[in-house]
Structure 1
Amino acid sequence: TPMSLTTGIGLGAQNGILIRSGDALQTAEKLNTIILDKTGTITNGKPALTDVIAAPDQDEETLLRLAASVEKSSEHPLAEAIVEGAQARGMNLGDVESFDAIPGHGVSATVEGRHVLIGNLKLMNREGVGIGNFEDPMKSLANDGKTPMYVALDGKLAGIIAVADTVKEGSKSAIAAMKRMGLEVVMITGDNERTANAIARQVGVDRVLAEVLPQDKAFNVQKLQLEGKKVAMVGDGINDAPALAQADVGLAIGTGTDVAIEASDITLINGSLIGVVTAIQISRATMRNVYQNLFGAFIYNTAGLPIALGVLYPFFGILLSPLLAALAMSFSSVTVISNANRLKSWKPGN
C-alpha cells in the first residue's frame, strides 16, 4: 500500500497535481459529490464592466466614477472590473474617506462627501434603499449571466452597474467528464440565483447553491456530508478556505490565494478544472493498484504459509527450507513493487 500511494502521489506531481498525503489520495477515490466555487474556479475570475444604467435623475458618468472610486479600495474581482472599466473611459477617481466591506452584501464608503453603497438586494434592504423600477433590468442582466449591482448615493438608488465573467476554457468539458465518472457536480456562489443559473446552464451544472454568504460555504459542505455523501470542494479564494478544510477532500486552484492552498489537501497547479478529473482518475487508478497488491499478497500468503509450516510433509515428505522461504518472501515483495511501478505508465483518461 505505501508503495502504491507513493507512486500515485508522484504521478500526480507529474500531471501538475500536488497531493499532500496518502490519506487525501485514498479519500478521493470514494468521492461522489464535487462542489465547485464559481468565480475563479469555473470562470476566469477576471470579469469586465458591461453595463452602466443610471436612474433618470442621475448622470451615468458620475455614477460610474463614484462607484469606481469606492471599488478601488476593494480586493474583489468584480471591483477590479469596475475600476478598470472607469479608467478605460479616462475617468479620474476620487479618494475614499471611509470604506467598509460587508461580506455577502457589498461595500459602503464615503467619496467626495457622498455616501456610496454598492451591492446586492440584501444590502439595499438592510440600508432601507428602495429599488424602484430597477427590478426588471436586474433580472434581464442576471438572465444574461451578468452580475448586476445596485449603486445608491446618499441613501437613494442611483442606478445599476453590471459586470460579466467568462467561463474558463475546459470547464464545460471537465464538468461533463465528472458526470461521466458518476459524480454529482454542484456549483456554489454568492451571486444571485439568476446569474448563477445562467453560468450553470453554460457549463452543464444541474445543482446550484446561489446567494451563499462566504461564512456559510463550509456549512453547505457539511449539509451535503450529512446526507451521507463524500464531498470534495474546489475553490481559489480566501473565503473558500473554511469550506476546503470542511470537505472530505479540498482542492485548491494553484492560481488562487495562499490561504486557500494552505487549507487544501490537493493543489491544482495549472488552475484548470481538468485537474480535478485527473486527480480523481489518479486516485482511482492508485487504489485499484493497492487492491491488486493486497489481493495478490493474500493469495500468495494463503498458499505459502501452509507450505512453510509443513502441511505437505505428511503426504509428500516435502519441507520448505528457510533459504527457499526467504527467496519466496523476497519474490512477493518484488511482485508488489513491480505492480506499483505499473502506475508510472498511467496516462490521463485511463
Structure 2
Amino acid sequence: LGTSSTLASLNATFGWHMVIIGPLGTLNFLNLASRYGILIKDGRSLQLLSKVDTVVFDKTGTLTQEQPHVGKLYVCNGYEEDQLLVYAAAAEYKQTHPIALAILEKAEQRGLLWPEIEEAKYEVGYGIKVSLGQELIRVGSVRFMEMEEIAIPPDILKKQQLGYEQGYSFVYVAINNQLGGAIELRATIRPEAKRIINYLQQRHLSMYIISGDHEKPTQKLAEELG
C-alpha cells in the first residue's frame, strides 16, 4: 500500500479495521508459532483450537529425542564392559544413525579409544560387520545374531525380556563367532515433554501416542509421562 492508501485504511470505519486487522493478527500468530517449530496449516486451525478435546502425539522426535541413551551393559563369555563398548564404537564409528551416536557418546563418556576399522559391511535392518585385525565384529539386533548363527546365552535372553517389559531395546555385540554382550538402549524423553503433558492434563484434554515402535516401549513412555 502507498502512503495515501495506508492512511485511508487506517481512517476507515470500524468494520474495515476488523477486515484488515483480523488477517494480520492471524498471520502474526502463524509467524510466532513457526519460530517455535510449530507448523499450522491455516488460520482456521487457530479458530478451531478452542474446540480441541484430544491431542495425539508422535513418539520419536516429539515426546522423545531421536537419539536414545545407553542404559546397562550386559557382558558374557569373559568380556568386560569397556571391551564391549570399544568393539561397538569401532564398528559404529562412521555411522550417523541414532543408535550409533548413542553408543559413541557412551564410549566417549568413559574416555575410551577405539581402533579404525579395516573393512565394513552394513546389513540394512539388521546390523553391521567389521574387520578389526584378525577379529570379525558383528553389531546389531537379536535377529542379526540369529542370522549369523551367534548363540545368545539364556541369562542374556532373560535380561532382554525383562528389558523389553521396561520399554528398552538392545544391541548385541559378537566377536568372531561368540557373543560379547548386549547394550541396553533407553528412550531419551525430551526435557519439556512432562511439563507440556501436565499442562494439557490440567486442561482436561485426552492424549494418545502414535508410534511404529513395539507396544511395551510406548506404554512405558506413557507411564513415565504420567
- Which string of whole-angstrom CA distances, capped at 9 and with x for unpartnered residues, describes residues 101-147 of structure 1? 523x4433333343323233333333333323111111333444543
Partners of 1:154 and 1:48 in 2: CA distance: 26
Q: Is the 8 A contact 1:9 1:25 kept in 2?
A: no
Partners of 1:142 and 1:197 in 2: CA distance: 11
Task: Summarize the Cα distance change of 1:100–1:4 in structure 2 as closer, same or farther, 3 Å threshold.
Answer: farther
Q: Given the alignment of the two structures, is residue 136 of structure 1 paired with residue 158 of structure 2, yes or no?
A: yes
Q: CA deviation at 1:67?
A: 0.6
Partners of 1:100 and 1:22 in 2: CA distance: 43
1:80 is aligned to 101
Q: Is the 8 A contact 1:144 1:198 kept in 2?
A: yes
SS in 2 for 1:186: strand
Structure 2: state its 5+ residue gaps.
1-18
> In the alignment, which of 22, 25, 40 is matched to residue 7 of structure 1?
25
Task: Summarize the Cα distance change of 1:70–1:45 in structure 2 as closer, same or farther, 3 Å threshold.
Answer: same
2:223 is aligned to 201
> In the alignment, which of 124, 132, 141 is matched to residue 102 of structure 1?
124
Q: CA deviation at 1:11?
A: 0.5
Partners of 1:4 and 1:122 in 2: CA distance: 58
Q: CA deviation at 1:68?
A: 0.9
1:53 is aligned to 74
Task: Summarize the Cα distance change of 1:63–1:19 in structure 2 as closer, same or farther, 3 Å threshold.
Answer: closer
> In the alignment, which of 198, 208, 219 is matched to residue 185 of structure 1?
208
- Return the structure number with greater helix share: 1
TM-score by length of 2: 0.68
AA partner of residue 56 (structure 1): N
Q: Given the alignment of the two structures, is residue 152 of structure 1 paired with residue 174 of structure 2, yes or no?
A: yes
SS in 1 for 2:62: helix
Give the share of equivalent positions with the same residue, in percent: 20
Partners of 1:85 and 1:130 in 2: CA distance: 26
Task: Summarize the Cα distance change of 1:196–1:121 in structure 2 as closer, same or farther, 3 Å threshold.
Answer: farther
Partners of 1:80 and 1:187 in 2: CA distance: 24
Q: Is the 8 A contact 1:66 1:93 kept in 2?
A: yes
> In the alignment, which of 186, 193, 218 is matched to residue 171 of structure 1?
193
Task: Summarize the Cα distance change of 1:184–1:59 in structure 2 as closer, same or farther, 3 Å threshold.
Answer: closer
AA partner of residue 211 (structure 2): I
SS in 1 for 2:180: strand
Larger radius of gyration: 1
Task: Summarize the Cα distance change of 1:199–1:107 in structure 2 as closer, same or farther, 3 Å threshold.
Answer: farther
SS in 2 for 1:196: helix
Partners of 1:138 and 1:109 in 2: CA distance: 24
Task: Summarize the Cα distance change of 1:54–1:19 in structure 2 as closer, same or farther, 3 Å threshold.
Answer: closer
- Which string of whole-angstrom CA distances, capped at 9 and with x for unpartnered residues, describes residues 131-173 of structure 1? 2311111133344454322222234322111233432223134
2:13 is aligned to none
Task: Summarize the Cα distance change of 1:9–1:59 in structure 2 as closer, same or farther, 3 Å threshold.
Answer: same
> In the alignment, which of 12, 22, 30 is matched to residue 42 of structure 2?
22
The count of aligned residue pairs is 201
Partners of 1:17 and 1:89 in 2: CA distance: 34
AA partner of residue 130 (structure 2): A
Partners of 1:79 and 1:131 in 2: CA distance: 22
1:249-260, aligned counterparts within 5 Å? none
Partners of 2:29 and 2:141 in 1: CA distance: 44
Structure 1: state its 5+ residue gaps.
205-350
